[in-house]
Structure 1
């Protein structure tokens, strides 16, 4: 039986060392690489594909989080299962977004001993541990934040248009576009760039037209 190839993404060297030592007792798991950053994670995946990525959430080297990286991993490598491993245990929004981004499961670091069992489960199940129902609930919650005008504006941003170009296309003032963007950012409690939010909403499928 071939081993399960696992990549661990964690910026804390003590955790990297500890998890590496922990997995030595599990013969079915091959922790073939550890990455200290999101950039290093994708570099490893490009050269050495993984079956499972164990992902920390708060990484010091970038504004992006492990939750953000999970969306990119599950988009670019749909066969890879991502398991979140974090100290954050009281943030429902992060928990929900992790599953919206395609995470298989979410473990707290004090439960790290559950990792082997969770990895085995991930390899035998085609979808998230919590199934499609949670993802649908989170999707509908986020979808409800956007009206038709919001989706139109974000779709234009995904196409690469600047706010000035959007204003010209929609025949409104630049100030009106800026104000509209600000309202969307507030709805999502978003502190990073509006283009990043547009890209994420597109990957989530939130910009599709309403059915019917």
Structure 2
């Protein structure tokens, strides 16, 4: 029987070395590679695909984190299951977003001994014990934050239109567009760029406009 191929994404060399030792000689699991960055992770997935990715929740990349990488994996490699490994305890926002981004399961680093059982469960089960339910819950919560007008604006941002172009197309003032963008970012407690928020909402599937929704 072929072993389960696991890729570990972690920027801490001590953790990479530790998990390699932990899984060495495992009868069911092969930790065949470790990636220290998101870029390395996606090169590896392209050239030597994994069955399971164990992902550190917060990497040191300037433009992305393990949460963002999990979302991209779920979009680009939907057959690969991601298990989030985190040192951030009692952070509900990260926990819920991990599942929103497509994680199969979520473990804290102080319980890493459970990884073999979780990896085997992920390989043999279609859905996690509570992941799908949490994903739906967080999806509905985030979807409820957006009106049709919000979605329309975010779609235009995703299309590469700047705020001046949006104001001209919608026949509103530039100040009104800026204010509208600010309101959306405040709803999500978003501190990065509006383009990054728009792209993330698109990946989450939040930008489909409901025909029966009223402004």
- TM-score class, shorter-chain normalisation, is over 0.9
Q: What is the CA–CA distance in structure 1 between the aligned matches of 2:49 and 2:176, rounded to whole Å?
A: 46
Q: What is the CA–CA distance in structure 1 between the aligned matches of 2:204 and 2:11, rounded to whole Å?
A: 27
Q: TM-score, normalised by structure 2?
A: 0.95
Match of 1:209 in 2: 209
Please report how far the alpha carbon of residue 26 of structure 1 lies from its aligned counterpart in structure 2 after TM superposition: 1.5
Match of 2:32 in 1: 32
Does residue 190 in structure 1 map to residue 187 in structure 2? Answer: no
Match of 2:140 in 1: 140
Match of 1:76 in 2: 76
Please report how far the alpha carbon of residue 25 of structure 1 lies from its aligned counterpart in structure 2 after TM superposition: 4.1
**What's the secondary structure of 1:55's corresponding residue?**
strand
Does residue 130 in structure 1 map to residue 102 in structure 2? Answer: no
Stretch deviating more after TM superposition (126-135 or 4-13): 126-135
Deviations along 1:143-177, one digit per CA (max 9) or x if unpaired, are 11111111110011111211111111101111211
Match of 1:151 in 2: 151
Residues 157 and 195, structure 2, Cα contact 8 Å, conserved in 1? yes
Q: What is the CA–CA distance in structure 1 between the aligned matches of 2:175 and 2:126, rounded to whole Å?
A: 47
Unpaired runs of 5+ residues, structure 2, are none
Q: What is the CA–CA distance in structure 1 between the aligned matches of 2:175 and 2:147, rounded to whole Å?
A: 19
**What's the secondary structure of 2:79's corresponding residue?**
coil
Match of 1:92 in 2: 92
Provide closer, same or farther for how the CA distance between residues 88 and 189 of structure 1 changes in structure 2, counting only shifts above 3 A: same
Please report how far the alpha carbon of residue 61 of structure 1 lies from its aligned counterpart in structure 2 after TM superposition: 2.6
Q: Give RMSD over aligned pairs.
A: 1.1
Please report how far the alpha carbon of residue 211 of structure 1 lies from its aligned counterpart in structure 2 after TM superposition: 5.8
Match of 2:14 in 1: 14
Match of 2:178 in 1: 178
Q: What is the CA–CA distance in structure 2 between the aligned matches of 1:37 and 1:90, rounded to whole Å?
A: 25
Number of aligned pairs? 212
Does residue 49 in structure 1 map to residue 55 in structure 2? Answer: no
Residues 190 and 197, structure 1, Cα contact 8 Å, conserved in 2? yes
**What's the secondary structure of 2:96's corresponding residue?**
helix
Q: What is the CA–CA distance in structure 1 between the aligned matches of 2:170 and 2:144, rounded to whole Å?
A: 23
Match of 2:102 in 1: 102
Q: What is the CA–CA distance in structure 2 between the aligned matches of 1:154 and 1:127, rounded to whole Å?
A: 31
Q: TM-score, normalised by structure 1?
A: 0.96
Q: What is the CA–CA distance in structure 2 between the aligned matches of 1:18 and 1:137, rounded to whole Å?
A: 35
Which aligned segments of 4 or more residues in structure 1 are displaced greater than 4 angstroms? none
Q: What is the CA–CA distance in structure 2 between the aligned matches of 1:209 and 1:178, rounded to whole Å?
A: 21
Stretch deviating more after TM superposition (202-211 or 154-163): 202-211
